[in-house]
Amino acid sequence: MAVPAFFILCCGLICPCCRSRKKETDQSALVKDPNSMDSTCSLEMNFVPEKAPGSPLRVPASPLRVPPSPSRFSMSPKLNRIGSIHLNMNQALKATQNFSSSLKIGEGGFGMVYKAQLPDGQTVAIKRAKKEHFDALSNEFRSEVELLAKIEHRNLVRLLGFVDKGNERLIITEYVANGTLREHLDGGRGKILDFNQRLEIAIDIAHGLTYLHLYAEKQIIHRDVKSSNILLTESMRAKVADFGFARLGGSEADKTHVSTQVKGTVGYLDPEYMKTYQLTPKSDVYSFGVLLLEVLTGRRPVELRRPPDERVTLRWVSSFG
């Protein structure tokens, strides 16, 4: 009984992203660097919080009653501008030591992710599209680049540049040094996360999704919220990554968009989305709920090695009620 009750409490406290979309007050402008190549773009954000007549500007409050800490808990975007990175293919090969397997730090549906060292000493992550699905992944590549270029938030991985030339597609993002949330839940990073760390990670993810759903220039639905798409910094701050399946939302899109192909990961998919093929921000909220169960229990959404009645974590937790 304790686990479901605590899960409901967490959802109520740290998921403002399930509220209806408020009237937009943010102003964002995509700025093309006049000195940049076509393969690189930069972003400049101008954030204007709501204010009542005669009252001072205020940053949206944190969902939890925690000591004020705008640099860690604010839902507003960071105001500094993203720097552009200009790389050609030869420079990318050098930075990754010809895409050496020793520098591989991850793999997804789009392709391999490599740690790269730039000539100025900066460390970045470079995602390289799979050759065998090059044409099929063109939409995913374009979606991730276009959407990441529109956003900047401390709980979302930053786009630094991209390369789209010939038979190569690369996405260059900030390097997040401490691996994925899933690795930490599995104990693969040496230490088991304590309760406070799990709670703060969940809050960070909620802030990132809240920004995408409510505060971005145009509403963005991630469509693949899962523990392996949450990256952790060395100070254990969480960043939502991998926007390959993401798409723009909005009130009209919520009412009219029907997809012919459901995107996402088994175990995290919203049953309503799978049934109706109609995508809304609620699909992300459902996935976030499954992710909360992961954070609380350490289990994966589906664990086939367990007895049949314990394989689906959501059903297993429900059995305690």
What pLDDT score does 7 carry?
A: 55
- The sign of the torsion formed by the CA atoms of 179, 181, 185, 186 equals negative
Binding site: what residues are annotated?
131
What pLDDT score does 244 carry?
A: 83
Residue 172's nearest CA partner among 243, 87, 82, 69 is 87
What pLDDT score does 105 carry?
A: 93
What is the chain's length? 321
| Cα 192 from chain centroid (whole Å) | 22
Question: How far apart (Å, rounded) are the C-alpha atoms in residues 204 and 225?
Answer: 13
Spatial contact of 160 and 205, defined as CB atoms under 8 Å apart = no
C-alpha distances (whole Å) from 295 to each of 119, 181, 205, 290, 317 are: 38, 9, 11, 9, 13
Query: In terms of DSSP H, where are the helices of the chain?
Result: 2-14, 70-73, 89-95, 138-148, 181-185, 195-210, 251-256, 271-276, 281-297, 313-318
Residues marked as catalytic:
224
Can you give the pLDDT of all 321 residues of the chain as single tens digits? Answer: 555 555 555 555 455 555 544 444 333 333 334 333 333 333 333 333 444 445 444 434 444 433 333 333 333 333 333 446 778 888 999 999 999 999 999 887 788 999 999 988 999 999 998 877 667 677 778 878 888 888 889 999 999 988 888 888 899 999 999 999 999 999 888 789 999 999 999 999 999 999 999 999 889 999 999 999 999 999 999 999 998 888 888 654 544 455 557 788 889 989 988 888 888 999 999 999 999 999 999 999 999 899 888 888 888 888 886
- Interior/surface letters 141-157, b for 16+ CB within 10 angstroms, e for the rest: bebbbebbbbbbbbbbb
- The sign of the torsion formed by the CA atoms of 311, 317, 318, 321 equals positive
Q: Give the CATH fold of the 2-21+177-318 domain.
A: Transferase(Phosphotransferase); domain 1 (1.10.510)
Spatial contact of 240 and 288, defined as CB atoms under 8 Å apart = no
Binding site for ATP: what residues are annotated?
131
What pLDDT score does 123 carry?
A: 95
What pLDDT score does 263 carry?
A: 82
What pLDDT score does 300 carry?
A: 93
What pLDDT score does 51 carry?
A: 45
SS3 of the chain: helix, strand, coil, percent, to 5: 35, 20, 50
Spatial contact of 159 and 149, defined as CB atoms under 8 Å apart = yes
C-alpha distances (whole Å) from 166 to each of 2, 88, 94, 134 are: 56, 12, 18, 11
Domain positions in the chain: 2-21+177-318
Spatial contact of 319 and 1, defined as CB atoms under 8 Å apart = no
What pLDDT score does 39 carry?
A: 35
